[in-house]
């Protein structure tokens, strides 16, 4: 089983309110509780990988923007 964290991430980014974002997070938490222990372990592992990749991407984007601002 492979979990689609990008789907939740994109929905959360595009949420128009904090309440909508909280509902999306709750949906993901509710889904997690339906998983057995093995699936929860896989979920956690894949989530950590996804978050690390996204944070790395954001850091790279930030550094590129910061670098371009210094050149102006």
Digit-by-digit pLDDT tens for the chain (72 residues) are 788 999 999 999 999 999 999 999 999 999 999 999 999 999 999 999 999 998 887 777 677 787 777 654
- Report pLDDT for 72: 47
**Sign of the torsion formed by the C-alpha atoms of 6, 13, 44 and 30:** negative
Q: Compute the distance between CA of residue 13 and CA of residue 42 in angstroms, rounded to an integer.
A: 24
- Report pLDDT for 66: 74
- Report pLDDT for 30: 96
The residues spanned by each domain of the chain are: 5-70
């Amino acid at each position: 089983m492979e979990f689609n964290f990008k789907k939740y991430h994109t929905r959360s980014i595009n949420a128009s309110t904090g309440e909508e974002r909280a509902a999306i997070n709750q949906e993901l938490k509710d889904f997690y509780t339906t998983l057995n222990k093995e699936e929860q372990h896989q979920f956690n592992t894949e989530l950590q990988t996804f978050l690390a990749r996204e944070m790395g991407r954001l850091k790279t984007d930030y550094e590129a923007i910061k670098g371009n601002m210094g050149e102006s």
